[in-house]
Amino acid sequence: MTLNPDSLERLDPNRVQAGDTTGEETLRLHLERYRFAAGHLRAGRVLDIACGAGYGTRELCDLATVPVTGLGVDISESAIDYARAHYEQPGTEFQCADAMVFRDDAPFENIVSIETIEHLPNPTEFVDRIVSLLAPGGVFIASVPTTPSVDANPYHLHDFTPRSFRRLFEKHQLEELASFGQDQPFSAGQVVKRSEDRMQQVRSNLLAYYLKHPSSLVKRVVSTVRHGFKNKYLTVVWRSPLT
C-alpha cells in the first residue's frame, strides 16, 4: 500500500511530518473545511467525492449532528486501499471510481467535494453530474482555491474567483445556504528554496512557465498586490430544489 504523505494532493493527518509548517497548516485548513461541512449535513447518506486518503469522510461521519452514513470515492486505488485500512468503520466505506463516471442506485442527501473541481478538465460537466446525484432538497458542499494556483501547483487545471466558482452552479437553481472563507499565508522564500517536503512538488522553473503563460503571471501579480502572499479558499453550501 503506497501513499505519498508529502504529495500536494494526498494529505493525511497520520503522515504529516513534525516541523512541516506548510503541511500542518494545509491539514488544519482541510480539517476546518470538513468540520464546517459536517455542521451542514442532512440526515441520510454522504458522498465524499475525490476523498483522497479518507480522513475527511471519517470526519464528516464522526462530526455530523444528524445520523449519516458515508461513502468516500476516489480514482486512486492506493488512496482507497489506504482509506479502507485506516478510516473505514461501520457506516463509513470507500470505493475506487472516477468522479466523472461514478453512479449509484440511489440519490445522496449530501455530497461533499473538497478541493476537487480545480483538478478536473471540465468543471462544468463535473458539477452537472454531481448535482444529478443529489436527492431533492439535498446538500452539495464544495470548496476551491480562489486565488491563483495553476502556476504553482502542477495538479491544478483551473483558477477560480468566488464569482467564477459560484457561476458553475447558477443553472441548477441551487440555494446558497452558507459559505466559509479561509486564508493561508505563505512565504515566497520557501516556495523558491523548496525548503519543506511539500514544497518539493511546487511547479519547477516558474519563470519559464510565466514566459509561456503570461496571463498566469498577471493573475499572480494582481493577487499579490490585492491579497499579499496569501492563498485564499472558499467553501460553499448549496441546497437543491425540493422538487
Q: In the chain, what are the domains?
A: 21-185+233-239 (3.40.50.150)
Rg of the chain taking only CA atoms, in angstroms? 18
Mean pLDDT of 50-60: 95
Question: Does the structure show a pLDDT above 80 at 215?
Answer: yes
Is 78 buried (19+), middle (13-18) or exposed (0-12) by CB count in 10 A? middle
Mean pLDDT of the chain: 89
Cell numbers placing 169: 452552479
State the Cα–Cα distance between residues 48 and 80, nearest whole angstrom.
12
Please name which of 33, 5, 38, 37 lies closest in space to residue 20, comparing C-alpha atoms. 5
**pLDDT tier at 2, thresholds 50, 70, 90:** very low
**pLDDT tier at 25, thresholds 50, 70, 90:** confident
- For residue 81, CA distances in Å to 29, 77, 78, 86 come to 24, 6, 5, 9
Question: Does the structure show a pLDDT above 70 at 196?
Answer: no
Cell numbers placing 209: 512557465
Residue labelled with grid coordinates 493527518: 13
pLDDT of residue 204: 83
> By percentage, how much of the chain surpasses pLDDT 70?
87
